[in-house]
Structure 1
Amino acid sequence: MKKSYSASHHHTYHCEQSGDQCICAVPLFQSLTAEQKDQIHSLIHHKHYSRGETIYRPGETADSLYVLRSGKIRIYRLSESGKEQLIRIVTPGEFSGELALFRKGFYEAFAEALTDCTICAIKHSDFRDLLMQYPTTAIEMLATIANRLGTSEQQTAWATTETVKERLWHFLVSSIDTDEREPIVELKMAKKDLASYLGTTSESLSRELAHLEKEQRMEEIAYGKFKLLDFT
């Protein structure tokens, strides 16, 4: 029998009262009414992970969508030779574990807590019912997945056709903060994670950053924060 998520009583969903940023701070749920958010709140299971703890790993049964409430998570894969490839960093308000929503199976990557994390988990069976009832949420999720696919394809193209310096430069240009008056990039990950994301080593990344600065194409104005000077 299909579950019904229509509210049986009327009241306003208050973030302040619930303290549940898993719903209030997530773009995925912003199109929903207060009553609909209240129903989602009842489906959430809160989980806490310590820094360095593995949240899921390849081969484990995938049964939940994970929404990050606080902290940072890194999603990565390991090659047969043991080389790590960072896929993305998950920040508060973002989600992970969504691909298994559409096909029952197993996780295909590692998820590790970069910091102490609070996660809101929603069982896939419950979330599929929500997507059926609330098409706008389904569209929001598909848009996010499409953006991730585009980023993944770009990452693959960089790794196979460009030098480390070219990968780094294109990454910096694509990461410019549009809220800034000047072309500023502030890394959302440690440099060692950026090296993994770009398919290189920390040493090579540091060397190419120094080369770009020497060529006056950019300057590091604070640790992990860069001002781009030359777009040619």
Structure 2
Amino acid sequence: MSTTYSPELVRTAELFEYADVDAAESLERDFEIVHAQRRTVLFREGETADYLYVLLDGKVKLSRRSHDGREGLLALLGPSDQFGEIELLDGGPRVTTATVVSGARLARLHKTALYRWIAQRPHVAEQLLQVVARRIRGNRATVHDRLFTDVPGRVAGQLIQLANQFGVAEDGATRVVHDLTQTELAQFVGASRESVNKVLAQYASRGWVRLENKCIVILDDAPLARRAQHKRRR
């Protein structure tokens, strides 16, 4: 771990979205750069929150366990995504577990540095609340999809989301390297691994996708988008 200055933070982190360059640079120097291997747990649900993170390279998953021990994957984060700030703002324990999915380089900021920065620039608190409000809105949309969309629709929706996050154009198709195991992909959809694999096999047989190891190549996104909009019949 080192405290190397990282100017890319100004360009990527939500924290700096509304900050002027001088204000951003004054905070950037308080970040620590951390390198973490796959399966490294950055923090666990229930722990005291001390740091805010910005993901510079790699992927990190945010998950939560139910009372019966089942794990649900709530988000898959990629470069420029910021996480862990909500608990710093409300003072509560971690509500999720953050685990590295593929080798990651992160910048982390201790809460004392964040509090000092906010105290010096009160308008930043309002801007951070806007960021948190967007997160809450997105979480509500996810809950809505799980309540009112069937498994094929949720699979299609998650493929579209992953393509938007990690997709790379390739010969008229979109290559999406998600780095998730089959179990993790099923947790992300909110369904059993068997049902998700069945849906993916159906989509592959229709020529919509091609399945590869921890990667999905989207060959035709139009039918996936339509399927994602189809709501569950009551």
Q: Same fold (TM over 0.5)?
A: yes
Residue of structure 2 equivalent to 1:205: 196
Q: CA deviation at 1:187?
A: 5.7
Residue of structure 2 equivalent to 1:228: 221
What amino acid sits opposite 1:186 in the alignment? V
Please list, as runs of the form range in 1=range in 2, the aligned pairs for 1:19-30 lying within 5 A after superposition.
Answer: 19-30=6-17
What amino acid sits opposite 1:42 in the alignment? R
Structure 1: runs of 5 or more not aligned: 1-16
* TM score, norm. by length of structure 2: 0.74
Cα separation, partners in 2 of 1:172 and 1:71, compared to 1, 3 Å: closer
Residue of structure 1 equivalent to 2:232: none
Q: CA deviation at 1:202?
A: 2.7
Q: CA deviation at 1:91?
A: 1.5
SS where residue 102 of structure 2 aligns? coil
SS where residue 113 of structure 2 aligns? helix
Please list, as runs of the form range in 1=range in 2, the aligned pairs for 1:105-184 lying within 5 A after superposition.
Answer: 105-134=92-121, 137-138=124-125, 140-173=127-160, 177=164
What amino acid sits opposite 2:80 in the alignment? G
**Structure ranking higher in helix proportion:** 2
Please list, as runs of the form range in 1=range in 2, the aligned pairs for 1:78-93 lying within 5 A after superposition.
Answer: 78-93=65-80
Match of 2:91 among 104, 111, 114: 104
Structure 2: runs of 5 or more not aligned: 228-234
What amino acid sits opposite 2:221 in the alignment? L
Residue of structure 2 equivalent to 1:10: none
What amino acid sits opposite 1:209 in the alignment? L
SS where residue 58 of structure 1 aligns? coil
Larger radius of gyration: 1
Q: Deviations over 1:42-75 (max 9, x none)?
A: 3223333222111111221112211222222111
Residue of structure 1 equivalent to 2:24: 37
* TM score, norm. by length of structure 1: 0.75
Q: Tell me the distance in 2 between the aligned counterparts of 1:167 and 1:76.
A: 18
> Is the deviation greater in 107-116 or in 184-193?
184-193
Cα separation, partners in 2 of 1:89 and 1:170, compared to 1, 3 Å: closer
Counting matched residue pairs gives 214
Identity, in percent, stands at: 20
Q: Tell me the distance in 1 between the aligned counterparts of 2:6 and 2:161.
A: 34
Q: Are 2:176 and 1:186 equivalent residues in the alignment?
A: yes
Q: Are 2:51 and 1:61 equivalent residues in the alignment?
A: no
